[in-house]
Structure 1
Amino acid sequence: MQTSTIDSNEAAAIQAVRDSVAVCDRSHWGRIQVSDDDRIRFLHNQTTNNFQSLQPGQGCDTVFVTSTARTIDLTTAYVIEDSVLLLVSPSRRQQLIQLMDRYIFFSDKVQLKDVTEDTATFSLIGPGSDALIEKLGAGAIIGQPYASHQLFEDVRVAVGSGLATSGYTLILSSANREKLWEKIVEAGAVPMSDRVWEHLRIEQGRPAPDFELTEDYNPLEAGLWQTISFEKGCYIGQETIARLNTYKGVKQHLWGVRLSAPVEPGSVITVGEEKVGKLTSYTETEQGSFGLAYIRTKAGGEGLKVQVGESQGELINVPFVTHDYV
C-alpha cells in the first residue's frame, strides 16, 4: 500500500492543516532555474499554461506533456525579474532538465540550472497560515492571487501551499533552512511529514507522477484544466489538448473513491461485469479507506457505485481537480 495507518504525530499535523497551520519540508522537490532572454517564450512553448501573460512577481501551475499530450509533471512556475523558478516533483527533476535541454536550439538564449541542492522549500498549510506569515514579516503577500510571490529577507514567499488547502510556499537558501524551520515551528506551525503530505494529496486529489501523471493519461483527464491555456498558440501537445476540448473527447476522469475496505493501487474498477477504470492511489482516512481512480466518462461520475477488487466504492469529487470543459 502507498500509505498505512497514520500515527498520533501525523494525526496532529492533519488536524493542524484543518484548524491552524502545519509546515512541510519539501526541500527534496526539484527546483530548476530558467534564465536568459528567451526564457519566457521558451517555457510558453514547452508547457500548457500562458507564460507570456505573466509579469515578475506572478506565477502559475503548468504541465509538461509529451508530443501526444501525455502527462510528465505538474509544476509551479514563479516568474522573477531575471529568471523563472520551476518547482517540480522529486522524481521528475532530471527528466525535465533533459527534456528542456533537448528543445534548446543553437539560436535560443535559454540557460537551465538545477538549484535544488542550493535551495530549500517549505509549505505552510492551513487556515492559520496568514497569521504565521504576518509573524515572519511577510504580511504584504496576504490576499494576493495564487502563485504571486515576493522576496522577504532572502526568503521568497509565494501564495499557495501546493495542495487544495490555503497556505504559502517558501523558497530560501539551503544555508538558512534549519534556522527558518525552527523559527516557523516556534511560531506555532505543526511539523508535517512526507507521509502526511502523501495522505493529503490523495485525499484532495492532487495527481502525482508515477500514479496519476503517467504516459497513460493527459492533463484534461487528470483534472488539471486550471493549468491549461486554450488561448495561446502552439506548444508541445497543444493539438491533442485543443482537439479533446473542442470535441469534448475526454474519455476518462480522475475521481476520489470512498472505499469499504483497503485495496491495492492498480486494482481494476468495475460496474457489474464491465471494467470502467483503475485505482491509482490509496490511503487511510478518519472516515476509512480512500483512493484516487481514473473512471471512464461514459460510466458516470459523482455518486457512482463501483467495485474495486474486493471492496465496494463510491465516486466523490476531490477539490484539487475539475472536470469542466472550457
Structure 2
Amino acid sequence: MQTPLTTKADPIQQNALENRCGVYGWDTATIVSHKGSDALDLLHRLTTKDLLSVKPGQSRRSALTSDKGRVVDVFLVANVPEPEHDLLLISDSDNSERLISAIDYYTIIEDAELEDMSASSKRISLVGPGARQLVAGMFEVNVESDGAVDLSFAGTRVVIASDTSRGVEWIDVICESENAAEVLEKFSKAGAVEVDAANIELFRIDNEIPGSEKEYGEHSNPIEAGLLDLIDWDKGCYVGQEVIARLDAYDKVQRNVKVLISEVPLGEGTKLSSSGKPAGVVTSASALQTESGTFLSLALVRKAFLDSATVLDADGVATTVR
C-alpha cells in the first residue's frame, strides 16, 4: 500500500500573506446593502459594537447574537460616503438569508431596507502588510485603518473597506461579479499574489482568526469563540447582552479558541480528551503541511487544558496546544 502524498503549504502564498500582500477571491460570501436613515441606529441596537460612532467613510466589524447569547453572524459594517445612509454588510458566511432574516425580524417601524447583493457582487480580500500600499497605488486613494471608500474602477462600482478586527492587515474589495475577473487580474499585475482557499485557511488558523460556522456560530458564544474584541461592554443593550454579560461577570465561559499542532492532519469535529476527560473539539483543520512539517488546527478547548504544550488526544492522535 502506497503512502499518500502530503500536500504542503505553498511558501509563496504564505509569504505573501505574512509579509507582502495576498489576494483571495471568495467563491461565496454574504454581501448585503442596508439603506435608510435608521439603518445604522438599528444595527447599533442589535449588535455587540458601538456603531453610532461609525461615520461615513469608516467601517467596523460587529457580532449579531441570539437572545441566548449565541453567535448568529459576524459582519463588517462599511458606512460608504455615497449615497447617503448606504451601509454595506460583509460577512464570511455563505448564508446571507440568515443575516437578512435576523435583522429584518427586529425591523418594525425603522427606515431601513435590506437588499441581498451576494449573487450579483464579488468579494475580494487583500491580506498582508502591503495591502494598503497596493490599494493606494492601484486606486490612487488612501484607505485608513477601518476606513471605507466608494469609487468607480474598471467600469464598475467598487467599495473598499479596511477591517482591523482580525489582527492582521485585511482589506475587503466589493465589486460587481461580472467585473471581478478583471479586478483580480489588475491586483495580480499590481504585485499581489493570488492565494487559494486551502492556503488562506491555513493562514487563518495559524493567526488564530475565528471562522464562520467553525469557531463561532449557534454552537458558541462570542467570548469563547475568540470574538472578545468585538464586544463593547459599555455600549448598553443589544440582543443577547444580558446572557453575555452574565457569562463574563460570573466567569461561566468554559472554553477558548486555541491552535493545536499535530504530526498528522486532524478532522473537524474530532473530540479532544485528556486522561479520559473531555477537553474540547476541533473546529477548523488544515490539511496542508507547514514548513516545519506539522499540521495546524483550531479548537474550542476547555479551560483546564489551555496551557501551552498541553498534550491532548484527538481520536488516537496526539496533538499539542500551542
Given the two structures, how large is their TM-score scaled by the length of structure 1?
Answer: 0.87
Shift of 1:256: 0.6
Secondary structure at 1:91 match in 2: coil
Shift of 1:237: 0.5
* 1:212 aligned partner: 215
Secondary structure at 2:251 match in 1: coil
Matched ranges for 1:165-314 at <5 A: 165-283=168-286, 284=288, 285-287=290-292, 288-314=294-320
Distance 1:253 1:87 in 2: 25
Conserved in 1, the CA contact under 8 Å of 2:35 and 2:85? yes
Cα deviation digits, residues 230-266 of structure 1 (max 9, x gap): 1112111100111122222211111111113222222
Aligned residues: 308
Give the direction of change, closer, same or farther, for the CA distance of 1:5–1:46 in structure 2 (3 Å limit).
farther
The gaps in structure 2 that reach 5 residues or longer are: none
Matched ranges for 1:122-161 at <5 A: 122-141=124-143, 144-145=144-145, 147-153=146-152, 154-160=157-163
Give the direction of change, closer, same or farther, for the CA distance of 1:152–1:6 in structure 2 (3 Å limit).
farther
* 1:121 aligned partner: 123
Conserved in 2, the CA contact under 8 Å of 1:163 and 1:201? no
Distance 1:208 1:35 in 2: 27
Q: Is residue 29 of structure 1 aligned with residue 29 of structure 2?
A: yes
Distance 2:116 2:269 in 1: 33
Give the aligned residue type for 2:14: I
Give the aligned residue type for 2:148: H
The list of structure 1 runs, each at least 4 consecutive aligned residues, that deviate by more than 6 angstroms after superposition, is none
Secondary structure at 2:123 match in 1: strand
Shift of 1:310: 1.8
Distance 2:110 2:215 in 1: 33
Q: Is residue 86 of structure 1 aligned with residue 89 of structure 2?
A: yes
* 1:321 aligned partner: none
Cα deviation digits, residues 67-106 of structure 1 (max 9, x gap): 101112221111234122110124221111122222211x
Give the direction of change, closer, same or farther, for the CA distance of 1:112–1:94 in structure 2 (3 Å limit).
same
Give the direction of change, closer, same or farther, for the CA distance of 1:244–1:157 in structure 2 (3 Å limit).
same
Conserved in 2, the CA contact under 8 Å of 1:125 and 1:161? no
Cα root mean square deviation, aligned: 2.2
Shift of 1:210: 2.6
Give the aligned residue type for 1:302: S
Conserved in 1, the CA contact under 8 Å of 2:120 and 2:177? yes
Give the aligned residue type for 2:241: Q
Q: Is residue 55 of structure 1 aligned with residue 61 of structure 2?
A: no
Distance 1:14 1:5 in 2: 17
Of residues 72, 87, 98, the one that matches 2:101 is 98
Give the aligned residue type for 2:121: T
Cα deviation digits, residues 156-181 of structure 1 (max 9, x gap): 22223885432422122334322222
Shift of 1:27: 5.7
Give the aligned residue type for 2:275: G
Shift of 1:218: 0.3
Give the direction of change, closer, same or farther, for the CA distance of 1:182–1:54 in structure 2 (3 Å limit).
same
Distance 1:66 1:43 in 2: 14
* 1:319 aligned partner: none
Give the direction of change, closer, same or farther, for the CA distance of 1:27–1:158 in structure 2 (3 Å limit).
farther
Distance 1:40 1:163 in 2: 22
Secondary structure at 1:140 match in 2: coil
* 1:19 aligned partner: 19
Sequence identity (%): 25
Q: Which moves more between the two structures, 158-167 or 82-91?
A: 158-167
Conserved in 2, the CA contact under 8 Å of 1:252 and 1:294? yes
Cα deviation digits, residues 163-218 of structure 1 (max 9, x gap): 54324221223343222222111112111122222222222222223322232210
* 2:110 aligned partner: 108
Conserved in 2, the CA contact under 8 Å of 1:65 and 1:72? yes
Secondary structure at 1:13 match in 2: helix
Give the aligned residue type for 1:149: A
Given the two structures, how large is their TM-score scaled by the length of structure 2?
Answer: 0.88
Distance 1:286 1:231 in 2: 43
Conserved in 2, the CA contact under 8 Å of 1:270 and 1:276? yes
